[in-house]
Structure 1
Amino acid sequence: MSLASIKSNWSLLSSVDPKTLAPAIEQIHRGVQFIAMAGKHYIKNEPDDSHTNLRWLPREEVLAGNWIRERQGNFRFAMRPKDLTLIAYNADMKGVANYPLNRKTNDEALEWIKDQLTTFGKDAGLMKMDIHYDIPTHETDNGAPYQFENPELFEEMAKYRSNSNLALEYFAQSYKTSSTVRTWPHHFDHGVYIPMVFDDGEDPIKSFSIGMGIPDPASEEPYYYITTWSKDGDNEYKDLPKLPHGQWISEPFKGAVLKASEIVKSKSAAQQSKIVMDFLKAGIAASLNILGIDQ
């Protein structure tokens, strides 16, 4: 992944107010829980809950869950944000079944998931929506159907995911210790964890994380973030350099954020990508200084 590739593949974000994306974000977030729970009940559980996470597949424009293994052929579930559709892929990454969530309820969607599990040879009785982490409540929790209204908002969110994946893959490939770029179904952020210093047991003791988050206490709109972690908890955020874009914050976490509204002020895809990359580069450099790591 090169800077030139990011620039040429960046999807121009429209000038729509990022705060108005909430209805689309909330429904996509709720919809991917079916994929996460399929991971919980049909994939070996990992201590970090990574069996429930998703990755962005650029060609398909989907958030795809981890592979579910089956003798007759592996398969996976995915969400296509731009039209709020669940998809089942076979081992050849062929979409064999689609389920648009528009005007469907959670109960109806769960039955579709179970039908696909049965088709692929799994015991559908194991599938439950017993979400083990807190997510924001939504009207679909009480039986209301999903509403695919204002399609442009869903298309815009697909662009946000695609662009963030480009930027984050660049840095994931720059650090050999980096995690893969993943979306976590709990907070629904698309992020990378990069441990930098390890103890004698090869456990990380200093790291930084970067990603794109959805509206939460840190921001009322989508935003990029950078934050650090030390086992000793001694990260001092003082005498911080001025960032080319975005700002430093101290609550609800210490780090830097770049709000989407600052990005969409630019009407050029190339300039939008530069704003994000300049923010991440400067923020990472400052974060390494905070961690006391030579560059």
Structure 2
Amino acid sequence: MEKQMHLAAQYLAAAGISFLEKKSDDSHTNLGFNTKNGCLYTHALSDNGEVLCLDYENFTLQWKSNKGITTFELDGARHTDVLSWLEDYSKVNLNKTYQYKFHYDLPYSIDHSFTFALSNADRLAELKNLRVLAQSVLENINKQYNLDTSIRIWPHHFDTGIYSPLPDSDITIGLGLAIPDQISDKHYLYISGYKNGNTIATSKLPKLASGEWKSDGFTGAILNADNLLESNGVAFFKDAINLLKND
């Protein structure tokens, strides 16, 4: 299910690439997450407020606008079927051409015959809950440190994250939730600190109360996100931020 949701999110990223002005930081491709309905969503793609959504709860794609909602069931759908639906809707309702093209590579490929399948509904619910956890934890950190920055999901690496200068400090922090990768085979919270354009070294920092510092391949701190409470995630980030500030 992790792979399928990562691939399905690319339909949203492609909409941003197709319809929005290109941003140098790629922010036109990034996504929001609604904790109430469990949906990823694009930036507004038209004057009618069209957004393309990916619904974790129902395993569907949705076009939402001030005219209503149009839904496409992913379970049993081929990649080519999804593209046809997206292309037809875009042509009729946005008068624009949807293109499934990217300027980055994913860790896996997809062809026209690839078929989506709701093979594990329980795992899909767990993945939604991880996004809810990440959003809640980052909203808490955002508020506590007055970061006033957007929490977004970046479709390339599929992480939920924020990147912001730390007020009353000379450091910048990047933190969020990452999917399993070469750093960890589990979803994990991560944080890195930056000063004068350089990543802050972690090899000599004091031990964290939870999680661990990394310096090989990734320089920062990580914490396994499985079965994590919001309070534990917030405590992890606050501990790491305090140690980074006092380095």
TM-score (ref. length: structure 2): 0.92
Task: Describe the superposition over 1:2-50 as per-residue Cα deviations: whole angstroms up to 9, x where unpaired.
Answer: xxxxxxxxxxxxxxxxxxxxxx111101001111111111111111111
Runs of 4+ in 1 over 3 A off after TM superposition: 174-178
Task: Go from structure 1 to structure 2 and tell me whether the alpha carbon gap of 1:173 and 1:116 turns closer, same or farther (over 3 Å shift).
Answer: farther
Match of residue 46, structure 1, among 12, 18, 23? 23
Higher helix share: 1
| Partner Cα separation in structure 2 for residue 44 and residue 113 of structure 1 | 19
Task: Go from structure 1 to structure 2 and tell me whether the alpha carbon gap of 1:175 and 1:116 turns closer, same or farther (over 3 Å shift).
Answer: farther
Equivalence for 1:224: 189
Cα offset for 1:192?
0.7
**Aligned pairs for 1:128-207 within 5 A:** 128-138=99-109, 140-141=110-111, 143-196=113-166, 206-207=171-172
Cα offset for 1:273?
2.2
Task: Describe the superposition over 1:235-277 as per-residue Cα deviations: whole angstroms up to 9, x where unpaired.
Answer: 232432222211111122111100134x45xxxxxxx222212
Matched, 1:208 2:181: no
Task: Go from structure 1 to structure 2 and tell me whether the alpha carbon gap of 1:144 and 1:236 turns closer, same or farther (over 3 Å shift).
Answer: closer
> What code does the residue aligned with 2:174 have?
S
Matched, 1:255 2:220: yes
Confirm or deny: 8 A CA contact 1:211 1:226 kept in the other structure: yes
Q: Any gaps of 5 or more consecutive residues in structure 2?
A: none
Cα offset for 1:176?
4.0
Confirm or deny: 8 A CA contact 1:82 1:156 kept in the other structure: no
Equivalence for 1:26: 3
User: Does the residue aligned with 1:170 lie in a helix, a strand or coil?
Assistant: helix
Matched, 1:236 2:213: no
Percent of aligned pairs sharing the same letter: 26
**Aligned pairs for 1:64-75 within 5 A:** 64-70=41-47, 73-75=48-50
Task: Describe the superposition over 1:102-161 as per-residue Cα deviations: whole angstroms up to 9, x where unpaired.
Answer: 11121111111112213323223xx211111111114x4362201111110101100100
Task: Go from structure 1 to structure 2 and tell me whether the alpha carbon gap of 1:153 and 1:255 turns closer, same or farther (over 3 Å shift).
Answer: same
| Partner Cα separation in structure 2 for residue 38 and residue 234 of structure 1 | 33
User: Does the residue aligned with 1:183 lie in a helix, a strand or coil?
Assistant: strand
> What code does the residue aligned with 1:123 have?
K
Equivalence for 2:38: 61
Confirm or deny: 8 A CA contact 1:225 1:258 kept in the other structure: yes
Equivalence for 2:243: 286
Cα offset for 1:224?
0.3
Q: Any gaps of 5 or more consecutive residues in structure 1?
A: 1-23, 199-204, 265-271, 291-295
For these two proteins, the number of residue pairs brought into alignment is 247
User: Does the residue aligned with 2:241 lie in a helix, a strand or coil?
Assistant: helix
> What is the Cα-based RMSD across aligned positions, in Å?
2.1
Cα offset for 1:232?
4.2
Greater shift in the superposed pair: 114-123 or 35-44: 114-123
Match of residue 76, structure 1, among 19, 30, 51? 51
Confirm or deny: 8 A CA contact 2:52 2:61 kept in the other structure: yes
Task: Go from structure 1 to structure 2 and tell me whether the alpha carbon gap of 1:234 and 1:89 turns closer, same or farther (over 3 Å shift).
Answer: closer
| Partner Cα separation in structure 1 for residue 197 and residue 124 of structure 2 | 42
| Partner Cα separation in structure 2 for residue 208 and residue 284 of structure 1 | 8
| Partner Cα separation in structure 2 for residue 162 and residue 287 of structure 1 | 26
| Partner Cα separation in structure 1 for residue 88 and residue 245 of structure 2 | 49
Task: Go from structure 1 to structure 2 and tell me whether the alpha carbon gap of 1:174 and 1:141 turns closer, same or farther (over 3 Å shift).
Answer: farther
> What code does the residue aligned with 1:87 have?
Q
